[in-house]
Structures are given as C-alpha cells and as structure tokens.
C-alpha cells in the first residue's frame, strides 16, 4: 500500500496531504510500501528519493510532467520506482523495458529511455 500526497499543490486539511516530510513520515510509521507524489514536486525536491529510500520506502510519481520522456528518464536516474502517465501510447515506445531475474529467482522490471545506458532496477 502506498500513501498519495499532493504535497501542497492543492489545499487539504490533512497535513500529510500537503507536506512531503509528513507524507514520508506517515508511510514509514505505518510500514507502507512508499509514497506517490506529484512529479513536479519531486523534480523540485530530488533529494526526497534518497531520503525515502533510506527509510525503506519506494517513490512513485504522477502528473502531466510524466508524459515527457525526459522527466521520466530523470526520475529513473534518481531512483523513482514508477511513473504514472496519462499518455501511455506515446510515452511507452520511447522507453524500453528490461526484465532481470535476481538470485532468488524473482523477476524485476525497470524502464529506461530507449537507446540510453543500463536502467536502474525498480
């Protein structure tokens, strides 16, 4: 389960929905898998990915910015685990999927910009 936060983009009475630190703290405190944040907020706070990862949390993003392959590529390099896009048909051909099998036999998929170097694991 993930906690979705608007991170202050829109008003909300719940501070976890308007604050990055509150969203991350809540997800960590309740042993959630991670947080889902607006791509625009993440791109302005790139250190957030490492902060969340240090707590064992995954980071997912959403927003119109994710329809731009360059934004998704940057997020992939930062360690974002998934980007929710609206324009899948146009975005997917610009990405390649790499599936790898770990030592435990589990398969993991990751995305990278087509033609770019090796993708980071997701």
Percent of the chain with pLDDT over 70: 70
Indicate the pTM of the whole model: 0.73
121 C-beta neighbours (distance < 10 Å), count: 12
The C-alpha angle with vertex 87 and arms to 12 and 106, in degrees rounded to 5, equals 90
What's the gap between Cα 114 and its chain centre? 19
* pLDDT, tens digit, 9 for 90 and up, residues 63-78: 999 888 888 889 988 9
Q: What pairs with residue 83 in β-bridges?
A: 61
Would you say residue 3 has pLDDT above 50? yes
Taking only the tens place, the pLDDT of each residue in 80-98 is 998 888 887 777 766 665 5
Q: How far is CA 58 from CA 30, 80, 121, in A?
A: 14, 7, 12
pLDDT of residue 90: 74
Q: Which residue has the higher pLDDT, 104 or 23?
A: 23
CA distance linking residue 66 with residue 72, whole number of Å = 6
Rounded Cα distance between 111 and 117, Å, is 11
Answer whether residue 47 shows pLDDT above 50: yes
Look at residue 41 and tell me whether its pLDDT is greater than 80: yes
Q: Which residue has the higher pLDDT, 22 or 107?
A: 22
Q: How confident is the model at residue 118, as a pLDDT?
A: 35
């Amino acid at each position: 389960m993930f906690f979705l936060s608007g991170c202050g983009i829109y008003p909300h009475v719940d501070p976890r929905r308007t604050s990055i630190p509150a969203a991350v703290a809540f997800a960590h405190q309740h042993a959630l898998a991670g947080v889902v944040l607006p791509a625009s907020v993440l791109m302005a706070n790139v250190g957030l990915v490492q902060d969340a990862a240090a707590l064992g949390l995954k980071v997912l993003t959403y927003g119109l910015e994710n329809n731009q392959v360059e934004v998704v590529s940057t997020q992939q390099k930062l360690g974002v685990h998934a980007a929710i896009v609206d324009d899948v048909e146009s975005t997917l051909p610009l990405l390649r999927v790499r599936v790898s099998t770990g030592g435990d036999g589990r398969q993991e998929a990751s995305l990278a910009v087509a033609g770019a170097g090796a993708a980071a694991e997701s």
